[in-house]
Structure 1
Amino acid sequence: MPSLAEFQAGFTHDLVRDQPPQSGPFARPAFAVYRNTWRKALREALRANYPVVAALIGEEVFHRLASEYIRKAAARSPILADYGAGLDETIAASQLHGMLPYLADMARLERLVTQARNAAAAEPIGPDFFATLAPDRAERVWLNPVPSAHLARFPTPVVTIWRAHQGPDQPKSLSPDWRNEQALIVQRGTAVAIDPLDRASFDFAAMLVAGNPLGVAATDTIARHPDADIAAILTRVARSGAFTINREDNP
């Protein structure tokens, strides 16, 4: 008689394998029904968490991609709103990467959207935060990213492609400029926002995320980008909903 650990391992293996088992304790009609229902739930969870990836490759190809992913990555929780970690790696290792070199980046971006959606809420600074800040204190202020905030760089124009796929009408064709893109992903109100960032704004925000005070972030950004408009960047930071005041470092 198998141990509990062996039973669980066999159950999981037969649940996610490509073909149903033909022999053994799980080669029964009741298990087949459960297996098909569970696999369908996982595919639907992937489709919900990666809607643009699914739209870009179509139903049939997405079904095959989802089946390959399910075979490699069983769900770690019955809560499927977070399912799909590592789909970008599955895409990058497949033939899809050669045909659609931006697809893995799209999966990475949509994974960040999922993480932002499921993050804990936090109160960000308001749009007038810097206007009310005393000049002699501004350089020594530390800001923390809210739990839902993520910064990401991409070697492909996935932010442009993602934004084109929002709304009821899907684009029939796209010809974005092939360039690197940077973005801030954050839960804003009831929806996740993806804000494109220029390099100076991205580097400034990255300095804050790394734990630097405003003065250091501004000095570093100007050194890298002499034409950077720090006032405009501060306005963007304040209105982004992505940063909160660090109470420990700002007594």
Structure 2
Amino acid sequence: MSNHACFAQALLSADSTCPAGLCSSNGADPASRFAVYRNNVQGSLINALTEAYPVVAQLVGQAFFNAMAGLYVQDFPPHSPLLNDYGQDLADFIQGFAPAAALPYLADMARLERLRVEAYHAADAEPLPPARLLAAMNQPDRLGQLCLRLHPSLRTLHSAFAVVSLWAAHQSDAAWPTFDLHQGQHALVLRNALEVEVIAVDLGAMTFIDALRNHWPLEVAAAYALDAQADFDLGQCLGLLLAHGALIDLQPHQKA
């Protein structure tokens, strides 16, 4: 292992041993200076996780979150110089973290908050003018073969828990509305202008949106949605996507 790799490994280790070969230009104890540097590095990574997963931290308490994040930091070093990228697999870590087993929804909350970070930093795109979609809908013989392009920030999450309601309840100091935590929800996450929105949608809408993300034409996406939910309302779903700036273009489907 190179000196650089040993130094990097020691920075994230729980072992307080100072790497061999370090020296200080002013005569100070290298071990004490390295300990300060290591604490700063690990503290910065834990703070980055707290910023990215605020509701997760609120659900377990800051002390528990710091301890859990500290263990994560030791096993999962950063792979990017951007702190925004750090913690992409924290949800999977939480899924297998035994002390958090009493909160089975915690991993999905982490997944939702990671999608919010991704949406915030996604590329910009101009929303589709409603008039273009209206013009296309006035040509029903061609409408079904059109592909709708979605905003680059758009993400979806299928959860067995009411993570959207739980997330929303943590966004203000108001009294929590009544909801069943064990009632699954489908989450739509996207950036509308400068605001990242989290929206609960029904199964048909989620199936339709996922089909669009897989580049299926409108008629196929609608058929999948109707198979998933017999009362799926295409017009209502398109209206939702338009209202939140989720549609950016429409073009004829290119057959393989």
Q: Distance in 1 between matches of 2:99 and 2:130?
A: 42
Could you tell me which of 165, 178, 182 is aligned with 2:182? 178
1:15 paired to 2:11: yes
Q: TM-score, normalised by structure 2?
A: 0.87
Q: Distance in 1 between matches of 2:100 and 2:177?
A: 19
1:194 paired to 2:223: no
Q: Distance in 2 between matches of 1:216 and 1:123?
A: 25
1:194, distance to aligned residue in structure 2 (A): 0.7
Instruction: Summarize the Cα distance change of 1:128–1:96 in structure 2 as closer, same or farther, 3 Å threshold.
Output: farther
Q: For structure 1, which runs of at least 5 residues remain unmatched after alignment?
A: none
Q: Distance in 1 between matches of 2:122 and 2:56?
A: 22
Matched residue, 1:145: 150
1:248, distance to aligned residue in structure 2 (A): 7.4
Aligned partners of 1:130 and 1:234 also within 8 Å: no
- What SS is found at the alignment partner of 2:55? helix
Instruction: Summarize the Cα distance change of 1:53–1:173 in structure 2 as closer, same or farther, 3 Å threshold.
Output: farther
For 2:233, the aligned partner's letter is: D
1:116-139 deviation line (CA, Å, top 9, x unaligned): 111111122234543232323321
Aligned partners of 1:128 and 1:238 also within 8 Å: no
Equivalent runs, 1:41-80 vs 2, <5 Å: 41-80=44-83
Q: Distance in 1 between matches of 2:37 and 2:128?
A: 48
Instruction: Summarize the Cα distance change of 1:85–1:62 in structure 2 as closer, same or farther, 3 Å threshold.
Output: same
Instruction: Summarize the Cα distance change of 1:212–1:172 in structure 2 as closer, same or farther, 3 Å threshold.
Output: closer
Q: Distance in 1 between matches of 2:112 and 2:15?
A: 31
For 1:44, the aligned partner's letter is: N
The count of residues paired between Structure 1 and Structure 2 equals 245
Matched residue, 1:25: 21
- What SS is found at the alignment partner of 1:204? helix
- What SS is found at the alignment partner of 2:87? coil
Q: TM-score, normalised by structure 1?
A: 0.89
1:204, distance to aligned residue in structure 2 (A): 1.0
Could you tell me which of 61, 64, 86 is aligned with 1:83? 86
RMSD: 2.2
Instruction: Summarize the Cα distance change of 1:54–1:25 in structure 2 as closer, same or farther, 3 Å threshold.
Output: farther
1:209 paired to 2:205: no
- What SS is found at the alignment partner of 1:25? coil
Instruction: Summarize the Cα distance change of 1:143–1:152 in structure 2 as closer, same or farther, 3 Å threshold.
Output: same
1:47, distance to aligned residue in structure 2 (A): 0.4
